[in-house]
Amino acid sequence: MSREEAPSGAARPPDPKSPARAGDVQASPSPIVRMRGITKRFPGVVALCDVTLEVMPGELHAICGENGAGKSTLMKILSGVHRPDEGELVIHGEPRRFEGTRDAERAGIAIIHQELAIVEDLPVSANVFLGREKRTSLGLLDERRMREECRQLLEPLDGRIDPDCRAGSLRIGDQQLVEIAKALSLDASILVMDEPTSALTESESARLERVIASLRAKGTTILYISHKMDEVFRLADRITVLRDGRTVRTVNRVETTPREVTGWMVGREIAAGPRGGRSVGGRLLEVRNLTVPWPGHARGYRLADVSLELAKGEILGVAGLMGAGRTELLETIFGAGGNDWTGEIRLAGRSVRFRHPKEARDAGIAMVTEDRKRLGLFPDFDVTANVSICELAAAGRGGLLGRRAEESLVAGQVRATGVRTPSLHAAITGLSGGNQQKCILARWLLTAPQVLLLDDPTRGIDVGAKAELYSLIDRLCREGDGIGVILTSSELPELLTLSDRIIVLAEGRLTGEFRREEATEERLMRAATGDAHGSPRREPRGHSAWRP
Ligand SMILES: Nc1ncnc2c1ncn2[C@@H]1O[C@H](COP(=O)(O)OP(=O)(O)OP(=O)(O)O)[C@@H](O)[C@H]1O
Ligand SMILES: [Mg+2]
């Protein structure tokens, strides 16, 4: 059945904030999606057990649950990626059994995957139309049309991405936008969005919300997975909570609260976040007048004249909009950027210049990146190997780390970071997204660093696990001599919760520094848009502000 044939109650008012809609949804006659008794097993795990989900036409239905709860698996069944072991799927009133994603696409279902499936060597436009290439009347690839349509699809999401550029050269947030454009190009009546904003900045997320509003005005039904409760409560009509592969319940958004939903997700009390008030020790890291050139770019530099200090036991937050230079700053310190920087980096009083991350690691620096797929994971290895890989390399110099010793080290760290895995030898690719991220953190903690660089470390991590990680990071800073942490985050509340001090970058320059007690979202946002004194200022290209 095509979208035109969907029940007429489908059209939603475009205003995503209207609370009256939840009632409308109940009044709609029959579900557009009905999943009943869905069970899905993977080796060693029951990912879903007897799950029921009903989605009404035109509603935005959020799926919430901890890492590994089964959200992505359920959506992959709906979109034809996986076949259920048991249970039935009814779309538009018709029982369906999808043999693949193309089947689901023909039934009007598209999915934006959590783990990006970009073909790095192809240009952006070819990625968007992969497998559905446009052709001229002569049967040749119609590159011009694809480029033009791609531009139009990307326009409302972000005007900056060039359809001709190699997809692999884009930063992860931009790749996510390409992935979204690809799903939009299918013009589906049912759109699944699996953590679409996890790599987006706040202004990009705001743009995406406007795109969602216009899709809803057209009557598109949206299934939405997110760990961001504010997003869920702004957008959803109804919320289904999964826990350990089972449906806990489905509720109207207006009849519940984030706290209640979180409670159903975790089924236990969430640990209180760190309270601050860490005592800070001696100076650990010092960066003076760091300048990183950017040849061929109009600005000429990625970072200009950036100075900072980090003490033992301190958490230094780095705020900034996309393109502000947060990742570049961390990568340069870690020896993972270019080697053409000027200025000085001093570690424990000694001037250093790392040409490779390995040198940084040997000197006691660890870095957890935002892009786990490209920079972090070894997809062919199991959990143990992925967690112990740095430690093994280090042990290799001084002697062999025995298998048993390796396993007990890994087991300890896996427990400390709360990784959920069927076994230590499970394939890393079988873990849920959030649990993969925790493995990378576990790996670096195993190297017992002095300085820990965290680049958006909780991307895709659920609220319960986030709170546990905050406590873990806080503890690492308090214990013994205390490590020093530099943290970036796309979520301001996270920076405000964890940091003792926050510095702000805008277009590669330092534009503000706040102590914990002075920092507010508004102050940080002003500094990040270069408006520290409240005067009007030209906005960075393509990014209106932190919030709409
Ligand atoms: N391809 C696979 N092979 C083996 N196990 C898998 C596979 N896909 C998922 N699983 C397992 O199924 C369970 C549910 O995973 P799923 O990815 O659906 O979780 P999720 O709720 O999306 O979590 P997250 O919030 O971390 O993305 C997990 O235990 C995971 O390890
Ligand atoms: Mg998932």
R_g over Cα of the chain? 24
Q: What is the pLDDT of residue 237?
A: 97
Please give the distance, rounded to the nearest whole angstrom, from the Cα atom of residue 463 to the centre of ligand 2: 14
**Is the CB–ligand 1 distance for residue 198 below 6 Å?**
no
Report residue 173's pLDDT band, with 50, 70 and 90 as the boundaries. Answer: confident
Q: Does a structural domain hold residue 104?
A: yes
Q: What is the pLDDT of residue 371?
A: 65
484: nearest Cα among 308, 291, 306, 323: 308
**Is the CB–ligand 1 distance for residue 382 below 6 Å?**
no
Phi, psi torsion values for 302, nearest 5 degrees: -90, -40
Region 210-223 average pLDDT? 93
Please give the distance, rounded to the nearest whole angstrom, from the Cα atom of residue 72 to the centre of ligand 1: 7
Q: Is the dihedral of CA 536, 542, 545, 548 positive or negative?
A: positive
Are 474 and 458 spatial neighbours (Cβ–Cβ below 8 Å)? no
Q: Does a structural domain hold residue 535?
A: no
Q: Does residue 109 sit in the same domain as residue 128?
A: no
Q: Is the dihedral of CA 48, 60, 55, 95 positive or negative?
A: negative
Mean pLDDT score of the chain: 84
**Is the CB–ligand 1 distance for residue 79 below 6 Å?**
no
What's the CATH number where 450 sits?
3.40.50.300
Region 36-44 average pLDDT? 93
Rounded distance between C-alpha atoms, residue 524 and residue 505, angstroms:
10
Q: Does a structural domain hold residue 75?
A: yes
Q: Does a structural domain hold residue 541?
A: no
Does 117 score more than 50 pLDDT?
Answer: yes
Please give the distance, rounded to the nearest whole angstrom, from the Cα atom of residue 189 to the centre of ligand 2: 22
> What is the tens place of the pLDDT at every residue in 343-374?
999 999 999 999 999 899 999 999 988 665 55
Q: Does residue 132 sit in the same domain as residue 209?
A: no
Rounded distance between C-alpha atoms, residue 327 and residue 330, angstroms:
5
Q: Which atom of ligand 1 is nearest to the CA of 69?
A: 21
Q: Does residue 410 sit in the same domain as residue 510?
A: yes
Q: Which atom of ligand 1 is nearest to the CA of 43?
A: 4
What is the count of structural domains for the chain?
Answer: 3
Q: Which residue has the tokens 């057990």?
A: 49
Higher pLDDT, 25 or 8: 25
**Is the CB–ligand 1 distance for residue 72 below 6 Å?**
yes
> What is the tens place of the pLDDT at every residue in 480-496?
778 999 999 878 888 99
Q: Does residue 487 sit in the same domain as residue 408?
A: yes
**Is the CB–ligand 1 distance for residue 430 below 6 Å?**
yes
**Is the CB–ligand 1 distance for residue 464 below 6 Å?**
no
Does 136 score more than 80 pLDDT?
Answer: yes
**Is the CB–ligand 1 distance for residue 114 below 6 Å?**
yes
Q: Does a structural domain hold residue 178?
A: no
Helix/strand/coil for 267: coil
H-helix or E-strand spanning residue 484: strand 484-488
**Is the CB–ligand 1 distance for residue 67 below 6 Å?**
yes
Do β-strands 190-194 and 109-112 pair in parallel, antiparallel, or remain unpaired?
parallel
Are 168 and 192 spatial neighbours (Cβ–Cβ below 8 Å)? no
Q: Does residue 316 sit in the same domain as residue 426?
A: yes
Rounded distance between C-alpha atoms, residue 310 and residue 317, angstroms:
10
> What is the tens place of the pLDDT at every residue in 48-73?
999 999 999 999 999 999 888 999 99
Give the chain's length.
548
Q: What is the pLDDT of residue 15?
A: 44
Report residue 296's pLDDT band, with 50, 70 and 90 as the boundaries. Answer: confident
**Is the CB–ligand 1 distance for residue 233 below 6 Å?**
no
Q: Does residue 102 sit in the same domain as residue 226?
A: yes
Rounded distance between C-alpha atoms, residue 176 and residue 118, angstroms:
9
Q: What is the pLDDT of residue 379?
A: 86
Q: Which residue has the tokens 């996510």?
A: 176
Rounded distance between C-alpha atoms, residue 316 and residue 308, angstroms:
9
Q: How many CB atoms lie within 10 A of CB 276?
A: 13
Q: Does a structural domain hold residue 543?
A: no
Q: Does residue 384 sit in the same domain as residue 288?
A: yes
Domain holding 150, by residue range, is 119-169
Q: Does residue 293 sit in the same domain as residue 377?
A: yes
Please give the distance, rounded to the nearest whole angstrom, from the Cα atom of residue 195 to the centre of ligand 1: 14
**Is the CB–ligand 1 distance for residue 47 below 6 Å?**
yes
Q: What is the pLDDT of residue 435?
A: 86
- SS3 letters for 349-403? CEEECCCCHHHHHHCCEEEECCCHHHHHCCCCCEHHHHHHHHHHHHHHHHCCCCH
Q: Does residue 370 sit in the same domain as residue 494?
A: yes
Q: Which of 41, 42, 414 to mutate to test the pocket of ligand 1 (most atoms within 8 A of CB)?
A: 42
Q: What is the pLDDT of residue 370?
A: 65
Instruction: Please give the structure tokens belonging to residue 234.
Output: 């702004």
Q: Does a structural domain hold residue 548?
A: no
Rounded distance between C-alpha atoms, residue 98 and residue 81, angstroms:
8
Q: Does residue 401 sit in the same domain as residue 508?
A: yes
Give, using CA atoms, the residue closest to atom 10 of ligand 1. Answer: 430
Q: Does residue 349 sit in the same domain as residue 443?
A: yes
Global pTM exceeds 0.85: no
Rounded distance between C-alpha atoms, residue 340 and residue 352, angstroms:
14
Q: Which of 72, 116, 264, 372 to mutate to test the pocket of ligand 1 (most atoms within 8 A of CB)?
A: 72
CA 325 to chain centre: 18
Are 451 and 483 spatial neighbours (Cβ–Cβ below 8 Å)? yes
Q: Does residue 359 sit in the same domain as residue 310?
A: yes
Q: Which of 38, 45, 228, 242 to mutate to test the pocket of ligand 1 (most atoms within 8 A of CB)?
A: 45
Instruction: Please tell me the least confidently modeled range out of 176-185, 271-280, 377-386, 494-503.
Output: 271-280
Please give the distance, rounded to the nearest whole angstrom, from the Cα atom of residue 120 to the centre of ligand 1: 24
Rounded distance between C-alpha atoms, residue 181 and residue 322, angstroms:
19
